[in-house]
Amino acid sequence: MAKTIVIKQVGSPIRRPAIQRATLVGLGLNKMHRVRELEDTPSVRGMINKIPHLVEIIEERG
């Protein structure tokens, strides 16, 4: 079974650069307090590291 990571959007994309909004959409988040379970890959980790002020890691499974 693949390792997964659960992330939650805690910040609003309002008045943020377009690249940060696009990163949120790429992670499957677009509204406040949405939660997504994603595969724990280097690309997903990189996207999370680009916007640490907008998302929080809730849980790491695997």
CA angle, corner 38, sides to 17 and 29, nearest 5?
Answer: 35
For 15-33, how does the pLDDT look when each residue is reduced to its tens digit (9 = 90+)? Answer: 999 999 999 999 999 999 9
Side by side, which strands form the sheet with 35-39? 35-39, 4-9, 55-61
For 25-61, how does the pLDDT look when each residue is reduced to its tens digit (9 = 90+)? Answer: 999 999 999 999 999 999 999 999 999 999 999 999 9
Kindly list the domain boundaries of the chain, sorted by start residue.
Answer: 4-61
Cα 8 to the chain's mean position, in Å? 7
Position 62 scores a pLDDT of: 86
Q: Which residues does residue 7 pair with via DSSP β-bridges, in sequence order?
A: 36, 57
CATH number attached to the domain at 4-61: 3.30.1390.20
